[in-house]
């Protein structure tokens, strides 16, 4: 690990301002992903700004009837919150399907959104990777691709976003609240938060330099049956091959997003409209234009079959 200086920030505005003033500064909260990548020298910050004292660890009701989740709310606490369990069950289920108990106790809401891909070629510093070294190429293309992306990929990157929570947040139409070094704040819809790789897979989110996430908000509950179904190589503590996050209403309409297939949670609103027609119709629209490899083309079939299972569970529950 490279040497770095360290401070604890006392307010979100101060943290963002400090980050802009020191070269190579990064925020650290749970540290479960950043510290791991620092050990491998994939991340090499010169200065760490610890944001754990910023009092962003509360979940509050919003005037619109939704919830404002502080950026520092730990995954365990978000999954266990009684309001989330009752009205946003999908979110609890997604969180509980991810990582281990130890990691969920440390990992934060904002950090979860910002975690980096688990593409093995990103992690192996001997391999070419346009995320690590823009312009160096992508060793994953033509390599071992079973876990990698099938849609929205580019000739520069076929990595996936690893988060389960983000898939649920996308289906729930969450919004990300931030503060910038100049003190201005803004709200970024989840639909716009994660980018597709294009020619710049190193730029993963809509955040600008040194912009700090302060909260994630959820709109008022929409009811329906909430299901998060994750398919993985072992029964616990593994990243998704694919996952389905769905809210299904009694009349068969609803919302659905897919994890494990793209550089961001994959949701196509036009495809959702076909939910009353069944999983085959939805999947055809949802994954239209997919470019899987020989090793991961099974994911297309897996999405359709898992979605069929989810819709069948929803019918049984309503």
Partner 1 sequence: MNDRDLMKLTRRKFLIVGAVTATSVALPPFISALASAANSARPVTNPVSMEVNGVPRQMNLDTRTTLLDALREHLQLTGTKKGCDHGQCGACTVIANGRRVNSCLTLAVMQQGSKITTVEGLGTPDKLHPMQAAFIKHDGYQCGYCTPGQICSAVAVLDEIRQGIPSHASPSLTDRPELIAREFQERMSGNICRCGAYSNIIQAISEVAEATA
Enter the DSSP assignment of 219: P
Query: Shortest approach of partner 1 to residue 115 CB, angstroms?
Result: 12
- Smallest Cα–Cα separation from 99: which of 204, 203, 239, 200? 239
Binding region for partner 1 (CB under 8 A) out of 73-81, 170-178, 197-205, 282-290: 73-81
For residue 275, the Cα-to-chain-centroid distance in whole angstroms is 24
Gap between the Cα atoms of 181 and 210, Å rounded: 7
Please pick, from the candidates 54, 73, 76, 274, the single residue that binds partner 1 as defined by CB under 8 A. 76
Under rule CB under 8 A, how many of the chain's residues touch partner 1?
A: 38
CB 278 within 8 A of CB 308: yes
Taken in order 66, 182, 194, 270, the sign of the CA dihedral is positive
Nearer to partner 1, 15 or 176 (CB): 15
β-bridge partners, 194: 205
Gap between the Cα atoms of 77 and 68, Å rounded: 14
Query: Shortest approach of partner 1 to residue 72 CB, angstroms?
Result: 12
| Residue 318 in contact with partner 1, rule: CB under 8 A | no
Nearer to partner 1, 96 or 179 (CB): 96
Nearer to partner 1, 106 or 281 (CB): 106
Query: Shortest approach of partner 1 to residue 67 CB, angstroms?
Result: 15
Query: Shortest approach of partner 1 to residue 57 CB, angstroms?
Result: 12
Tokens matching residue 12: 């979100």
| Residue 268 in contact with partner 1, rule: CB under 8 A | no
Query: Shortest approach of partner 1 to residue 60 CB, angstroms?
Result: 20
> Is 108 in a helix, a strand, or coil?
strand
Please pick, from the candidates 10, 21, 62, 102, the single residue that binds partner 1 as defined by CB under 8 A. 102
Distances in Å between the Cα of 304 and the Cα atoms of 137, 170, 299 are 32, 19, 9
Question: What x-and-dash track marks residues 40-69 binding partner 1 by CB under 8 A?
Answer: ------x-x-x-x-----------------
Query: Shortest approach of partner 1 to residue 11 CB, angstroms?
Result: 18
What angle in degrees, to the nearest 10, is found between the helix axes of 279-286 and 298-317? 140
Tokens matching residue 290: 């997919």
Nearer to partner 1, 52 or 185 (CB): 52
CB 126 within 8 A of CB 52: no
Please pick, from the candidates 10, 55, 62, 101, the single residue that binds partner 1 as defined by CB under 8 A. 101
| Residue 100 in contact with partner 1, rule: CB under 8 A | yes
Q: Name the CA radius of gyration of the chain, rounded.
A: 19
- Smallest Cα–Cα separation from 128: which of 195, 35, 201? 201
Gap between the Cα atoms of 252 and 312, Å rounded: 10
Please pick, from the candidates 125, 134, 237, 291, the single residue that binds partner 1 as defined by CB under 8 A. 237
| Residue 31 in contact with partner 1, rule: CB under 8 A | yes
Contact footprint for partner 1 (CB under 8 A): 1-6, 8, 28, 30-32, 35-36, 39, 46, 48, 50, 52, 76, 79-80, 85-86, 89, 92-93, 96-97, 99-103, 105-106, 235-237
């Amino acid at each position: 690990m490279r040497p770095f200086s360290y401070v604890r920030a006392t307010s979100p505005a101060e943290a963002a301002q400090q980050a802009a003033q020191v070269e190579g500064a990064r925020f650290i909260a749970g540290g479960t992903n950043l510290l791991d990548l620092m050990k491998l020298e994939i991340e090499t910050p010169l200065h760490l700004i610890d944001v754990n004292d910023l009092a962003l660890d509360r979940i509050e009701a919003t005037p619109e009837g939704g919830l404002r989740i502080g950026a520092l709310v730990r995954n365990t606490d978000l999954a266990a919150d009684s309001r989330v369990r009752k009205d946003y069950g999908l979110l609890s289920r997604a969180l509980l399907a991810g990582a281990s108990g130890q990691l969920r106790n440390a990992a934060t809401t904002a950090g979860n959104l910002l975690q980096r891909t688990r593409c093995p070629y990103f992690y192996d510093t001997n391999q070419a990777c346009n995320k690590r070294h823009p312009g160096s190429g992508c060793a994953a293309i033509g390599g071992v691709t079973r876990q990698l992306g099938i849609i929205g990929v580019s000739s520069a990157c076929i990595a996936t976003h690893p988060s389960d929570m983000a898939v649920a947040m996308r289906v729930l139409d969450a919004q990300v609240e931030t503060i910038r070094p100049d003190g201005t704040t803004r709200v970024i819809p989840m639909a716009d938060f994660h980018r597709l790789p294009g020619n710049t897979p190193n730029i993963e989110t809509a955040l600008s330099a040194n912009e700090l996430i302060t909260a994630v908000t959820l709109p008022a509950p929409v009811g329906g049956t909430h299901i998060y179904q994750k398919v993985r190589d072992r029964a616990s503590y593994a990243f998704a091959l694919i996952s389905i996050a769905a809210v299904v209403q009694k009349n068969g309409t609803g919302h659905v997003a897919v994890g494990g297939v793209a550089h961001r949670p994959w949701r196509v609103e036009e495809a959702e409209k076909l939910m009353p027609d069944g999983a085959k119709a939805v999947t055809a629209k949802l994954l239209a234009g997919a470019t899987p490899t020989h090793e991961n083309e099974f994911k297309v079939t897996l999405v359709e079959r898992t979605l069929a299972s989810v819709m069948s569970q929803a019918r049984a529950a309503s």
